[in-house]
Structure 1
Amino acid sequence: MEKELKGLEGLKELKSTASEGHASIILEFESGVDIDQAIIDAKDKVDRAKSELPDDADEPTVTEINLSTFPVLRVNLSGNVDFATLSRTAKNLQDAIEAVDGVLEAAISGDRDQQAQIIIRPEQLESYNLSLTDVANFVSGNNRLVAAGNLDTGASRFSLKVPGLLKTKEDILNLPIKAEGDQVVLLGDIATGELTFEDPSSYARVEGKRSITLAVSKRVGENIIETIEAVKAVIASESEQWPENLEYNLTGDKSTDIETSLNDLFNNVLAATLLVMIVIVWGSRYSQCSTGRFGDSRCFSIRYFVVGLARLHHQYGCLVCLDTQCRHAS
């Protein structure tokens, strides 16, 4: 695979990693390369190399990694609250953040989907002449959104759906399973149940406490500083409605790095402008010194001071203010 991919046009660097049951190759291209064409070429190279892979290997895939869509801010929710409250708050905050202009998505990690845990009592199941498969299919069939056709008003047309989703523990246990004459067998007659959460597939911790993290990514071309400021304003507004024990903190704030770089750039430009002005002033003074008393020590001192100042700024990047005069001796 590496031998085939090394021949790609515009390839800058190739990195590969391999472990038991998995291998990946990262390709970095030179600036200015047509990425769409590079992906097509890479897929062609992979297709050529597929014949060399083991027979039981999965189909290789080629995926573009766009650094501009990486998270620019992480919001960590934690506190002494039950997981249901933490999960519900994270999902509400996700909807609020993704409604902000410039935000691509707010991906949640550390969360788990809610599920119903139903424990069947075998003796009751047998007494009502029911099978476990019948009960499972019946519950699954009652927990779905049913399409009921369309409503045509003449001016417009709407699709109708009948919600049949089970949302609470009581909804589940009150499901009728079987009818025998005037007697209706409910799911609660043969089983017990409770709402719980799936087994975790990812974990998030803040200072050792369980948390849920939202990774905020911006849209390509959007202003990172303005986007993050808008997200922070939304978080501050939403947090006023949270329980007292629920708190948040922000990590991975890319706007801080951008602002620091901009401030450094501004200082460097300002320093360079000041040095240019000093050189211009020094040049005019030097002209006066050349037509007057050129041997005046003050004219030489200005000259050496400006040169020393320029070297100091070049070496340390510091900003120096100078106010000096060169007067002729009367």
Structure 2
Amino acid sequence: MKISELSISRPVLATVMNILVVLIGIIAYQSLPVREYPNIDVPVVTVDTSYPGANAKIMESQVTQILEDSLSGIEGIDFMSSKSRSEQSQITLTFKLDRDPDSAASDVRDRVGRVRGLLPEDIDEPIVAKVEADAQPIIWIAFSSDRHSALQVTDIAERQVRDPLQTVAGVASVEIVGERRYAMRIWLDRTRMAAYSITSQDVEA
């Protein structure tokens, strides 16, 4: 028996079935997940470079521009932006949605490594990091040693720990907090500096 024949011969049953279909549709509609802003992770990779003592103009010409020229050829870039300020350069690469973030970060590290020899020797190693809009630190790792100083522990964390962790799938970025740096205190002789027409900024540079 066809549905049409059943509906004609048994109208009450057909009415009940129609009501059930409508009720199920209403319940399903109300339970549908609705987001005003869908949870979309746009692949974004940043390159941060520090150059102690350099002004914004030097950062732009000797660091940012060289890195941009190398990074511009990476496949899948949607757009690229950069900021150059005193002692700091930051390049942000936004990739198309179909680009894998881990693969994109790997390509960026490769391009940065190719031009590392063209950058000033005194710069800190460029930091390549994957960025997510809602990223929050989820793991903290503490380092201590009875045989090494705080400066040595910082050096070990930078050279042997940070880079391997950055290549782990799903890791957006690795930051070292509370690191110890070598410092030097210099007393300037104003009289001799004036004789040579040297300013404190010249000494710092």
Query: What TM-score, normalized by structure 2, do the two folds share?
Result: 0.42
* Between structures 1 and 2, the one with greater strand share: 1
Query: What TM-score, normalized by structure 1, do the two folds share?
Result: 0.27
